[in-house]
Amino acid sequence: DAKTTQPNSMESNEEEPVHLPCNHSTISGTDYIHWYRQLPSQGPEYVIHGLTSNVNNRMASLAIAEDRKSSTLILHRATLRDAAVYYCILRKGAQKLVFGQGTRLTINP
């Protein structure tokens, strides 16, 4: 299974953008990059995913490096509700999802 590396924790202020990095230097050409987040006392929820091109949805943007060895999840205007653990995961075909330790994001009011 290709591995991802994320910082253990990050902190930001409300209404500011947040950039959450993820390194995946052993990514293969068919690995999709998925981001999930887990709010306190809840199951994980999907945030966004992509293969090669940058992706945007109502929750966030995903910027993927040209060599695909890293990616960045961008929350454009963080709110207190965005405080969660964010997981960057690679998935190829029907292989199992492997969650790392994720990044604990703290949002200051």
Partner 1 sequence: KAGVTQTPRYLIKTRGQQVTLSCSPISGHRSVSWYQQTPGQGLQFLFEYFSETQRNKGNFPGRFSGRQFSNSRSEMNVSTLELGDSALYLCASSLFYNPSQETQYFGPGTRLLVL
Q: Which stretch binds partner 1 (CB under 8 A): 15-23, 43-51, 52-60, 66-74?
A: 43-51
Q: Which is nearer to partner 1, 40 or 109 (CB)?
A: 40
Q: Do strands 103-108 and 9-13 pair parallel, antiparallel, or not at all (unpaired)?
A: parallel
Of the candidate residues 39, 65, 80, 98, the single one contacting partner 1 (CB under 8 A): 98
- Is residue 101 involved in binding partner 1 (CB under 8 A)? yes
- Is residue 40 involved in binding partner 1 (CB under 8 A)? no
Q: How far apart are CA 66 and CA 68, in angstroms?
A: 5
Q: What is the DSSP string of the chain?
A: ----B--SEEEEETTS-EEEEEE-TT--TTPEEEEEEE-TTS--EEEEEESSS-EE-SS-EEEE-TTSSEEEEEESS--GGG-EEEEEEEE-TTPPP-----EEEEEE-
Interactions with partner 1, residue window 44-73 (CB under 8 A): 44-46, 49
Of the candidate residues 39, 65, 80, 97, the single one contacting partner 1 (CB under 8 A): 97
CB of 18 to partner 1, least distance (A): 22
* Binding footprint of partner 1 on the chain (CB under 8 A): 30-32, 36, 38, 42-46, 49, 87, 91-102
